[in-house]
Amino acid sequence: MFRIRRVYDDVTPLNRGVISQVQEILRNQFPGLSPRDIAKLPKQLRNPLKYRFRTILFVAEDSKEKVRGFALLFHAPLLNFGYLDFISAAERETGRGIGSALYERVREEALFLKTIGLFFECLPDDPKLSRDPEIRKQNAARLRFYERYNARPIANTAYETPLEPGDDNPPYLVYDDLGQERPLGRDEAKAIVRAILERKYRGVCPPDYVEMVVESFQDDPVKLRKPRYIRKKAAIPVKITTPLDKRIRLVVNDRHAIHHVEERGYVESPVRIDSILKELETTDLFYRVSPRHFAEKRIKAVHSSQFVDYLKRVCASLEPDKSLYPYVFPIRNVARRPKELSIRAGYYCIDTFTPINRNAYLAAKRAVDCALTAAKQILEGYRLAYALVRPPGHHAERRDFGGFCYFNSAAAAAEYLSAHGKVAILDIDYHHGNGQQNIFYDRADVLTISIHGHPNFAYPYFSGFEDEKGNGAGKGYNVNIPLPEHVSQERYLEVLAGALRRVARFQPGFLIIALGLDTANEDPTGTWSLQSEDFQTMGKMIGLLGFSTLVVQEGGYDTRLLGINARRFFTGLWEGIYSSL
Ligand SMILES: [Zn+2]
């Protein structure tokens, strides 16, 4: 078994390992390559637009993270073509081998990038150009492989002129129009061939050779060689569904419904998840991943262990269907914890409307597991992941729960990812993300930003003010942007753009979005009026930053619109991220 995946950068240990395996294969299989060119691969990936060509790396890897093949694609945005520089698996493999899986993924990407087609070199199958029959047989097998995709050598040009007279096996230039059946004009072909030769054979092809080859393109439109191996014109089409590795890894809290506060008016209800899921399922942008179990110490890494133990114990002590509301708040004397478990609730709580019930601990623990599973997907090389969870978590502080939240799932994921790089948490719930602020207030490696209704009128009332900027090393790494009761859509998007500039300056390895949908028009807990199209714009703006992004579900309570707004947000996020890379 193997999976095909695009490798975007060298931020995670997994990707660093994979890239060095690819470099090793390049060194061994292509001894003519300069060590400098091989060494700069990670840099090319990290800064795709710094070089004239955007470098795109796909790997086929097995479950032991061993690279079984790779393809290196260059995308030239201005001339609008793809150049397949290397594809290392045995293309001779028939059926669903690694070579075909890699080549098909490259074609999907070239089509997604709206290129006119793919160009690449193939050694010749003509006895005059390839004298050794054994090698010629291999060359023919490769050309046959590509002919299945209707990719054939460009005919009637001098591309395959040996650099030195008598050189064996000068390559053909092969063209795959990706089934678009659009004629390739002579002048555009000339510009493309020049770019290929100047890039690939810099310092090897003398300028007059390049000139000679470019000028040999006379047919308009350019002609391809007649099919030689595949009789029927049954070219393999390019898939039009979203490739698996580009789908958003979706982890849903499958045990959320065990936590159900049935009091009238308690808006944090199980139907929220179902209404979002129903809409997401109408797209092909998601790939469902089952939640994994993580040790409780992952929760205790962001919450006080006394509080975690308390919540576990008090939940287990409650009768089913009974809700315990905190009612005594010993804020004057924190050294004296009330003995009685039910009375003690207020010792760990910030409000009077978030009850504890028998399953609160289990559901909240499962939500954290989901956020961590989704974070792990990011570490495994996927660019986008979404933990669709309830109960929400962003109001849970290090030693307190409240605001429908028990454990801070986004914070647990941030802590987990922070072992591999800096993390930015952007909270776009209508309410202040006091939980992350409190948990990371002293840290400079986790940037916390929150855009929310001003605490003068919005929950949690006691935090979210502009002058809360972090403490000690963390000074400057907490940003609160409180907004008035009524905000126009334009103003909101401007503010978001400012917050995203702050994230970009921070250059995190990972971005976490605490996604509240209660900023929407008519949400029962908010006062703003964002429309569905605004959520798509917001998603796109966030995606355009191009960071590995984990989205964790927080609030949002208008169940008629939740799903649509979530779908629009993720559609925008997907479009943004994949047009930025
Ligand atoms: Zn909220």
State both tokens at 40.
Answer: 């700069």
Give, in degrees to the nearest 5, the angle at Cα 57 between 52 and 60.
165
Residue 427 pairs in a beta bridge with 450, 514
Nearest to 565 by CA among 518, 524, 527, 525: 518
Concerning whether 260 is annotated as a catalytic residue, the answer is no
DSSP characters over 510-523: EEEEEE--TTBTT-
pLDDT at 333: 75
Structure tokens given for 275: 């209404």
Instruction: Work out the percent of the chain whose per-residue pLDDT is above 90.
Output: 77
Q: To the nearest 5 percent, what fractions of the chain are helix, strand and coil?
A: 35, 15, 45
pLDDT digit string, tens, across residues 161-219: 998 888 899 999 999 999 998 999 999 999 999 999 988 888 888 999 999 999 999 99
Task: Report how far ligand 1's centroid is from the alpha carbon of 505 (Å).
Answer: 27
Cα of 555 to ligand 1 centre, how many Å?
Answer: 4
Among candidate residues 259, 395, 431, 452, the one labeled active-site is: 395
- What mean pLDDT value characterizes the chain? 93
Determine the pLDDT at residue 192: 97
**What's at 4, amino acid-wise?**
I
Phi, psi of 310 (to 5 degrees): -60, -50
CA 439 to centroid of ligand 1, rounded, Å: 18
Q: How far, in whole angstroms, is CA 489 from its chain's centroid?
A: 26
* pTM exceeding 0.85: yes
* Cβ count within 10 A of residue 239: 12
From the CA of 397, how far away is ligand 1's center (Å)?
15
Written as one string, the DSSP assignment of 91-106 is TT--SS-HHHHHHHHH
Once rounded to an integer, what is the mean pLDDT over residues 431-459? 98
Q: Report yes or no: 465 and 458 within 8 Å, Cβ to Cβ.
A: no
Cα 87 from Cα 81, distance rounded (Å): 17
Greater confidence (247 vs 265) lies with 247
Burial 370-384 (b: 16+ CB within 10 A, else e): bbbbbbbbbbbbbbb
Q: Which residue shows structure tokens 């045990």?
A: 255
Amino acid at 221: P
